[in-house]
Structure 1
């Protein structure tokens, strides 16, 4: 009789627990990260010599869970958020560079078109004014582009700051959950809901930075970032903090609050995407844009100095750009000043460099790859270091271990400005002109001439070229100089050609171009610089350089979009796979609810029958 009642009561309790578990599943059908639970029933064994058991009991409430599938969701979350952050940021650079009528490329084309107009009518002030307007617009567009890149740099800082704050909060919550899970495990089984909460926090943490986990025997999960750096260990967490870059205080990195910087070791998530964007798009775009600004200024300034303006004066520089940056590390013990200048625009690259002092000698390396860069010179003012189009002068006071970041182009676009405001000061005419004596016996003619060295001190001196015979000539009485038909004559920084057949005594004069208001030779040469090989050792023109930049950023952005979309599909698939195993099926739960309700009612009926039998027995005894 007692066993009969005990079995009924055990069934009532067990099915009540099963109903509660089913109800819990139904209530959390739409709870993010919830894993379906199942009450596991087992027969209670008989005691002593009894032939029948003592009913049933709930041995545990099982969490329907697949660690691999959850790990896939977390890994794909990290990858998607990295690609999404990267793509969102890269798209802004791509839009800026390829921005139709307002892009740097369009402004550059408009400027050279205006130069062509000056070449067509070099004496007209209105065309000169239009050219200055386009030059001014070009410098403004460079400045605007640099301002946009600076804004994106600040955006990266903001993302890092926000993610660090979120990571610290999540790490503390994970440590607290670890403590609760360990405490709940003392009863034999950790709380399933606490385990779900921990997985949700780990997924959210992966949205900020990629993490790895190791679960201890007591149920606590240790969390690692940056290839083995402990973020959470049991019930304690480490705090992260932002830190200023050793070379650029305005640029943030990440460190442990009481430890060293770990920025380069972090990957994945929002932080990984922002850092990848900074390294792969932002800095290369800024350097390429800066080199283009330096290229425009260097090539046009050099050619402009080879001409004369409407007043008969030599041309000066058209543009100025921001100077190269030589920034000492905040960890330097010494105080040596370092000054960097651009010496050869043709060999200037878009790379940044780190200059190191080991206590005895200096060395230069690529800041991204760490590859050594050969230098010549001794680093003094009289004999500076020379490398990749740069001169580097180092003053006294360096200490062993000191480092300097050399950024030749990073400041160029922001500092670009137009130096000429008077349209009459545009040097459209060549500085020299060749003339043929009217008393010559032969039919030879001298070309107008071109300037090949605008800095030559004797450039404007008048020079007579007198042919001794058809194969020799003198320059201002100096010679003879051998001559073959078609040979150029180069002297005092200029070059002329002789056409026809010179005779003995034929004289040709090269002198300063003092009446060149209608001369457009220098304007034509200025215009030709758009397509001339000015960069990359003469293999790239100014237009090529910008086109390469646009194509490079566009390609990276396009691949980022493709990879992000593919990763989004993988994330959705992994979430669906997890739901297929752990998600709540309301139809199934409704069936379970009905099944357990019937079982509960049957168990109650068993108790009712046992009660009736017991009452019958009591009544019989009383009689």
Structure 2
């Protein structure tokens, strides 16, 4: 061996250590690059040369540049990031929703209480114009708060729609980036070496997709990576991508769903398969939390408006002559939204079959029958071909319960009417009895005289009565009390509450008569006495204090001086604590009372509050898990500047030693030349 062998060893050593220095410098330069994995040079010996004295090494070779990578940790970091993003997106939206339901004196429950309390002054002074004006002001304030909350919910929906569109655009861009990198990586794989920086960029792009959608990946033999979402839907397959699209909800055009455009075929992805990423969080909030909040708010609005307006109609206003009260509060009515996938209506696709207002015309209509029984839910009506003609399946979406209905069926306080042309087989309709109620709430009455403070009926006790019975309450319960001209006379026949009753018309002619029994604590209702003739409708409810005695006479007839009567104002006051919201009539006929307006609003606050706190906790927990997964990945693949600085010194010294080896080899070579000379 000569000086040339030593020089070769030095050259190889310098080359190897220079490569190591270069890799270390690359690490230091990319310490803050997102997704970068630490790289290191892998060295191998150059083998040995046999001599009679043994094998002499021939130095070192640079085998490859390796990146630190863990498929398991990378997958865990990506998955946990997707779950954290979903929880964070839902939590952020719920916190925005919570602002639509203020507490205390700014809340809807407080405004409702103030509305009913305003009737106290009207009851004390029925003819006082200022007291009546206060009622209008309080009603207007209640309507304003309902409308404001409804509009905030609508604005939140618009924000979710915009964010979904932007997120879908980002996913498509990132998917295109992954496909592009797949092509470059597959081309580079032919060299026999791995393109580390390209692999890092692809991993980072896939991780960024996880922020929007949870993904699964499968590596191919050519080095490309296929990406799948939603339980197997391909997003990237080699160098090909599937475009995600924002699909308008089949029922409600204001909502978006996630869909795919696969080779020109557009289809909606099932929401239950979208389990991670901010898109999943937004869809869950939109399809569950936001709908529930809108329906709970609408339930309050519809129940209060229906009850107040019904009581208004049972009283007499302050005009001359007095007439039945007109509506005090107006809210949005029930809506029917046909599916865009329904069969054509009279040869015109449902999606384009519209009325003069631009709304799609369905084959179903809704009307509120009993506002206190309205529930906070949407319903889906399905023309099931397996049922008999004229029968349909109705599913309450809030709990999934189903029943068979037909034209004229009354369910949860609303009536379903099938109008021509009848739905075709497999047609679907989304029924929204209360969803639009709050956002369209307005004051319907502007004249203080229009407040129906007077009751159409009054009670008179005979001056010769010997019992202690006095009037506790009297209110009309019929639908057209102002048209009633009948007078009822009750004559008690013993001291235990038995009585005879007579109904006489304006000419004092006997219409009907009968007997009854009064029990302490129970009211006397005229429903069973009501004549069949609509023009003679005469319904009222009377409560007594004290005890009547035999021979006592009580007369209930038309109010003589409506301007001074406060009977209906007192009934309005009673609505404050009445169970107006969420009454349920079970199949057995048992009635489960509803709750008061203030309690209903408190329930909404509690429901939203629980969701907000639960979402916050879930977001904090998933964020912590994601941070731990990211930290574990960083520990494995990240750049540590202290370690790199130590390696820099190590490789620098090795390089200098190799240079010294070359210097020695050169000196030996010069000596040999001098000796030869």
TM-score tier by shorter-chain length is: over 0.9
Using the alignment, how far apart are the partners of 1:474 and 1:446 within structure 2?
18
Q: Whole-Å Cα distance in 2 between the matches of residues 280 and 441 of structure 1?
A: 62
1:158 alignment partner, one of 158, 162, 178: 162
TM-score where L is the length of structure 2 = 0.86
Aligned partner of 1:286 in structure 2 is 294
Aligned counterpart in structure 2 of residue 475 of structure 1, from 502, 513, 524: 502
Residue-by-residue CA offset, 1:410-446 (whole Å, 9 max, x unaligned) = 11112222222111221122221111233x3634656
State the distance in 1 between where 2:417 and 2:370 align: 16
Q: Which moved more, 1:149-158 or 1:206-215?
A: 206-215
In the TM superposition, what are the counterparts of 1:79-98 in structure 2 within 5 Å? 79-98=83-102
1:279-358 equivalences under 5 Å are 279-311=287-319, 312-335=322-345, 337-358=363-384
Task: Out of 538-547 and 102-111, give the one that drifted further.
Answer: 102-111
Distance 1:456 1:15, change over 3 A: same
- In 2, the alpha carbon distance for the partners of 1:485 and 1:201 equals 78
- Equivalent residue runs for 1:18-417 within 5 Å: 18-47=20-49, 51-257=55-261, 258=264, 259-262=266-269, 264=271, 265-311=273-319, 312-335=322-345, 337-359=363-385, 360=389, 361-367=391-397, 371-376=400-405, 378-379=406-407, 384-395=408-419, 396-417=421-442
Paired with 1:364 and 1:293, the residues of 2 have a C-alpha distance of 24
Report the counterpart of residue 654 of structure 2 in structure 1. 599
Give 4+ residue runs of structure 1 displaced > 6 Å after superposition: none
Structure 1 segment 550-561 matched on structure 2, within 5 A: 550-561=605-616
Tell me if the contact between 1:291 and 1:349 (Cα under 8 Å) persists in the aligned partners: yes
CA change 1:484–1:192 in 2 (3 A) is closer
Supply the distance in 2 between the matched residues of 1:179 and 1:61 (Cα, whole angstroms): 21
Counterparts of 2:491 and 2:304, CA distance in 1: 39
How big is each residue's C-alpha offset from its partner over 1:284-307, in whole Å with a ceiling of 9 and x where there is no partner?
Answer: 111111111000011112222222
Structure 2 counterpart of 1:522 = 568
Q: Deviation of residue 139 (structure 1)?
A: 1.0
Identify the residue that residue 583 of structure 1 maps to in structure 2. 638
Distance 1:441 1:27, change over 3 A: closer
The question of whether the paired residues in 2 share the 8 Å contact of 1:123 and 1:310 is answered with: yes
Asked if the contact 2:129–2:449 (Cα under 8 Å) also holds between the matched residues in 1, the reply is yes
Please give the alpha-carbon distance, in whole angstroms, between the structure 2 residues aligned to 1:313 and 1:446.
28
What is the DSSP-based 3-state SS (H/G/I as helix, E as strand, rest coil) of the residue aligned with 1:508? strand
**Alpha carbons of structure 1 residues 61 and 244: separation in structure 2 relative to 1, 3 Å:** same
Three-state SS of the structure 2 residue aligned to 1:374 is: strand
After TM superposition, the structure 1 = structure 2 runs for residues 525-540 of structure 1, keeping only pairs within 5 Å, are: 525-537=571-583, 538-540=593-595
CA distance in 1, matches of 2:455, 2:631: 73
Listed as ranges, the gaps of 5+ residues in structure 2 are 346-361, 504-509, 527-537, 584-592
SS in structure 2 of the partner of residue 52 of structure 1: strand
CA distance in 2 between counterparts of 1:136 and 1:291 reads 18
SS state at 1:61 partner: strand
Partner of residue 533, structure 2: none
Q: Distance in 1 between matches of 2:180 and 2:602?
A: 54
Q: Secondary structure at the match of 2:31?
A: coil
C-alpha contact 1:468 1:474 (8 A) present in aligned 2: no
In structure 2, distance between residues paired with 1:90 and 1:473? 61
Q: Deviations over 1:347-388 (max 9, x none)?
A: 32111111111344421123466x342244x31xxxx12222
Instruction: Give the length in aligned residue pairs.
Output: 614
Deviation at 1:12, TM superposition (A): 1.3
Does the CA contact (< 8 Å) of 1:182 and 1:190 recur in 2?
no
Contact 2:374 2:414 in 1 (8 A): yes
Residues 246-291 of structure 1 show CA distances to partners (whole Å, capped at 9, x for unaligned) of: 1112222221123311151323222112111112321111111111
Q: Which residue of 1 aligns with 2:542?
A: 496
Q: Does 1:16 align with 2:43?
A: no
SS of equivalent to 2:284: helix
Q: Who is 1:611 aligned against?
A: 666
RMSD of aligned alpha carbons: 2.3
Unaligned 5+ residue runs, structure 1?
A: none
